[in-house]
Amino acid sequence: MFQPYAQAVEERLLRYVKIDTQSDESTGAVPSTAKQYDLLRPLADELTALGAADVTVTDYAAVLATIPATVPNADAIPTVAFLAHVDTAPAFSGTDVKPRMHRAYAGGPITYPDAPDLVLDPVGSPYLAKKIGEDIMTASGATLLGADDKSGVAVIMTLAETLLADPSIPHGTIRIAFTPDEEIGKGVLHLTPADLGADFAYTLDGGEAGEISFETFSADKAVVTLTGVSIHPGTAYGKLVNALTWAAKFATLLPEATRTPETTQDRAGFIHLYALTGTAAEAKLSFILRDFEREGLAAHGAVLESVCAALRLAEPRLKVSCQITPQYRNMRYWLEDDTRPLDLAVKALASQGLTPIFRTVRGGTDGSVMTEKGVPTPNLFTGQQDLHGPLEWISIQDMARSVAVCVEIVKLLAA
């Protein structure tokens, strides 16, 4: 049912991952790195060559396109959109990716020519044991692979090719969006429901075959700024208030045992200190706050505020501020009220012999933001595994399965 798509998704992923599209939170630009256009513009050209309509590269670096309906009653059929992001994670290099194919994987460890000590093994990655006989793609060990989320891009592009090449497949109007900067939380920041033009949507950015994600963390970002009293260290006695010293104290006052990423799992949220920068004069601590429930997220923010208050009491000369910025919210809050995309995906999975795997995401997706904006957008699998590092891998057959499920979704909508 899915094998005819395997060659197309493999060829595309091999091509896409060689293009460096790593995003960068520090630039403040849109997109955050100009090199994301090195993939975005060719994707627009590819869609045009396939025959898609309304192909646009927006001023906020999204590629949008339409696959016109093939049925006469298109106005009565909900418009569905498929989204994927082109950027790769800042956490690990995406420069000069050398993809490697492991044909008909026979089991056991996979090694890497550019990192002799690196081993991908079913013991550490249990899903790999289920992929015996399938074609596995990895990188060479010096970079991540970039299947997150270029696999989603390849799946959607193959879906577009399939539908545009065969007008006998019944479907309504379909919208496509390729977006930048998802890895830094800004993927669909500027994408409006009007621009997307869909009644509901799917992000193609998930893992195991059959996986559907309709619940994500709710997320805030927090920046604590400590401004001390700067003075020459030779005459600092009784005068210097070292912002870096107080930043270190701030970190030690956090409830490490129960609220950090390395001490939490399942449905427990966390406070994650991911950057500490500055000088003796001024220091900044950057946090991400995560929880599945609004109340838990607010409690994390209250913890930071309480530590700020404690520092103000301990050293009145120290200026302490805490700025908390909302990022995204658990998509479950909205999808509970509109289950259409979930119901449709379950039927499509069953048609392909796949059992639905409902998985909560200990993170966020572009679908979290689009759902909050009013376009219900759960996340579907592509097969990507062990993300954001050199062990990243994917099964080509899982990607092909993902295409088959998407084709079935659009056919079911038109039935």
Query: What is the reported pLDDT for 1?
Result: 66
Query: What is the reported pLDDT for 3?
Result: 81
- Which residues in the chain show pLDDT less than 70? 1, 257
The 3-state secondary structure of the chain reads CCHHHHHHHHHHHHHHCCCCCECCCCCCCCCCCHHHHHHHHHHHHHHHHHCCEEEEECCCCCEEEEECCCCCCHHHCCCEEEEEECCECCCCCCCCCCCEEECCCCCCCEEECCEEEEEECCCCCHHHHHHCCCCEEECCCCCCCCHHHHHHHHHHHHHHHHHHHCCCCCCCCEEEEEECCHHHCCCCCCCCHHHHCCCEEEEEEECCCCEEEEEECEEEEEEEEEECECCCHHHCCCCCECHHHHHHHHHHCCCHHHHCHHHCCCCCCEEEEEEEEECCCEEEEEEEEEECCHHHHHHHHHHHHHHHHHHHHHCCCCEEEEEEEEEECCCHHHHCCCCHHHHHHHHHHHHCCCCCEEEEECCCCHHHHHHHHCCCCCEEECCCECCCCCCCEEEHHHHHHHHHHHHHHHHHHHC
Q: Which of 20, 148, 182, 215 is catalytic?
A: 182
Q: pLDDT tens digit string along 295-353?
A: 999 999 999 999 999 999 999 999 999 999 998 899 999 999 889 999 999 999 999 99
Which residues is 380 bridged to in the sheet?
204, 212
Among 221, 279, 281, CA closest to 25: 221
* C-alpha distance across the termini of the chain, in Å: 19
Domains present along the chain, CATH in parentheses: 3-216+330-414 (3.40.630.10), 218-327 (3.30.70.360)
Q: How far apart are CA 281 and CA 290, in angstroms?
A: 30
Q: How far apart are CA 160 and CA 231, in angstroms?
A: 63
Among 361, 149, 369, CA closest to 267: 361
Rounded to the nearest 10°, the torsion over CA 294, 296, 300, 302 is: 80
Count the neighbouring beta carbons within 10 Å of the beta carbon of residue 401.
Answer: 27
Q: How far apart are CA 152 and CA 365, in angstroms?
A: 13
Count the neighbouring beta carbons within 10 Å of the beta carbon of residue 34.
Answer: 10
**Residue appearing with tokens 């399938």:** 134
β-strand pairing of 218-227 with 319-328: antiparallel
Q: Is there a catalytic annotation at residue 182?
A: yes
Query: What is the reported pLDDT for 259?
Result: 85
Share of the chain above pLDDT 70, in %: 99
Among 9, 25, 381, CA closest to 160: 9
Query: What is the reported pLDDT for 365?
Result: 85
Determine the Cα angle at 5 with ends 384 and 379, to 5°: 40
Amino acid occupying residue 49: A
Q: How far apart are CA 268 and CA 147, in angstroms?
A: 27
Q: What does pTM read for this prediction?
A: 0.89
Among 95, 92, 106, CA closest to 136: 106
Query: What is the reported pLDDT for 171?
Result: 98
Among 371, 318, 297, 383, CA closest to 6: 383
Q: Is there a catalytic annotation at residue 25?
A: no
| Dihedral (CA of 30, 33, 37, 43) sign | negative
Q: How far apart are CA 163 and CA 84, in angstroms?
A: 18
Peptide bond into 233 cis (omega under 30): no
Q: Which of 87, 199, 215, 366 is catalytic?
A: 87
